[in-house]
Structure 1
Amino acid sequence: MAHRHPLLGLGAAIASSAAFATSGAFAKSLLIGGWSPGAVVTLRITIAAVVLLLPTLWVLRGRWGVLRRSARLVIGYGLTGVAGCQLAYFYAVSHLSVGVALLLEYLAPVLIVGWLWVRHGHAPRRLTVIGVILAMAGLMLVLDVLGGMRLSTAGVLWGLTAAVSLVLYFLITAQVDEELPPIALAGSGLTVGAVVLWTAALLGLLDTTRGASTVVVGAASVPWWVPVLVISIVAAAFAYVAGVAAVRLLGAKVASFVALSEVLFAVLFAWLVLAELPTPIQLVGGVLIVAGLVAVRADEAREQSRAARAGVGVGASDEEDYAAELLPTGALSQDPVRHGP
């Protein structure tokens, strides 16, 4: 972007992470009460889409052309960042603790490094290699590979699926036309996600079983709609708008780095709402994963700074490289004059 505002972007990114982090704990109270992940995600996305409908229509006045130009990216955003990521994460939470599921999801930066190495031969630099090693060692501890703890294979696979979806979420968000307001992108993406989920439910492809009418949140028994409203309004409508704004203000790389704070917030909320904490060895693993991701991000920032001092153009960043490979052909150039974030 021509102008980025670090402090405002940092505030938006942290607010988005904290809001997103409430989803795991409050959604799991529904899952424990017999609600299927499909039902929880479908209600969450639908209510959030309805909440943002009028604001979306308002900000799109006179800008419908921008939405049409970004149609493929908006659809991709709805399929991956909204429906795909959240559905995979909630399925992971139904098999694993909130903290472990989220740590798996936030292996997304490591997946990007591995993909570029295998697919394009972009060998990572030394600090990135150290970061990947730390993250993988942390993953082994989180999964308790050497211990006696038994984790659900399905839960681990769903967590990794969420990680892939998260990669696409950040890349797509960074590539959408800057003239499309964050509320419009979030509202449109949520609408796409809701339509896809309801279509899958009506076709019998998605289990939307409803559970108990009363669920336990913390030490209290509350109606089912209380956690549903929390994960819909706070952890979806607000979180997605703030997340889009953060990526616009910080860029996809920095925003995805700050988003790691969601892991800490999620563990805190899981403790407060569910009295659920990872084991000590898993906490150590979580620290290693976060440290590894910090090393990867620091290496990228250092390389960009070195290139800038040397007078090398860095406009065509790795964000574009990732997006050119992962997004549909032609999606990066809805406007022939504008390329990249």
Structure 2
Amino acid sequence: MDQQSSQLRQSPVRDQHVALGATFAPFGGWEMPVSYAGVVAEHTSVREAVGVFDVSHLGKAAVRGPGAAELVNRCLTNDLGRISPGQAQYTLCCTPDGGVVDDLIAYLVSDDEVFLVPNAANTAAVCDALSAAAPAGVTVTDEHTGHGVLAVQGPRSAEVLAQLGLPQDMDYMAFADAQWQGRAVRVCRTGYTGEHGYELLPRWADTAELFAALLAAAEPLGGQPCGLGARDTLRTEMGYPLHGHELTADITPVQARAGWAVGWGKPEFWGKQALEAEKATGPVRRTWGLRASGRGVPRADMPVLVDGVLVGRTTSGTFSPTLRTGIALALLDTAAGLSPGSQVVVDVRGRSLPCEVVAPPFVPAHTR
């Protein structure tokens, strides 16, 4: 193992990933599996059957104490008042000027407890910001290695959970606290693929055994283990943002088309004044999808041009296994007047790749 690998944090399932022949890469300070059988095969398994992901690198944090939900609601963008205990919500942690510190899922346990799942590299920043704003009696605890996270995604995902005696019949963005072989596991109807699926949060020490059981149940159904490579192609086809690409300290929710995750009617949240001003005037740039018309695959941070004039840059890009063509997400100047059907060119390392502007998602969602 090289020095860089030895400095990366590791999932509790790492030994199984090695045994399954996974390739690894650093991600958010963690060494995580990229692929096992190949990204296209894993992607297709999720779209057509089921895939099992280890995403234990994701952060976990608990906000507890009298007024915990109130604290989260006055800090993060979305409105926890829209949901009830037992439901989850996509939300954003913003800076005063509207930039995005992180996007995360908030699980409303009760008025006095909210469980958060931020991105791996941003967990400490989210916890520190909430701790600084917390009133007496409310604690914010970083539980990054207290729980694993396993995602079971695809049209046959409910069958996998049923075989393990875990709950499956719940609404999208709802969760239930259950038992598996006498051990606690939180089962959530959430995911990052656009397919019907679940995310499971077992205790860290139970994660490897649960991963093996899920995989054993999935394989007879056409399922297989899936790495972060397929997770990226799946989320890009859906137009889902990845922090550091579509959402950053310089890219606001309004620009990223994430205004639906902002509780505009709330009296306060971090970045409220700046975001309201941007919403009122309209953003100077906005996220669009690009679908390649020619042969080639756009990647992140490539120039986008119209008649030779720079109008923006790609934020993510990949080959779409479903569409069998290159796709990208791009932040484009609103002054360019682009709309679905507009033609642009992506400069792919000096070669012009014609693309059509589309409104994501690139393929239909089946989350509900």
Q: Which gives a bigger RCO, structure 1 or 2 (Cα 8 Å, sep 6+)?
A: 1
TM over 0.5: no
- Under a length normalisation based on structure 2, what TM-score does the superposition of the two structures give? 0.27
Larger strand percent: 2
More helix per residue:
1
Larger Rg: 2
TM-score (norm 1): 0.28
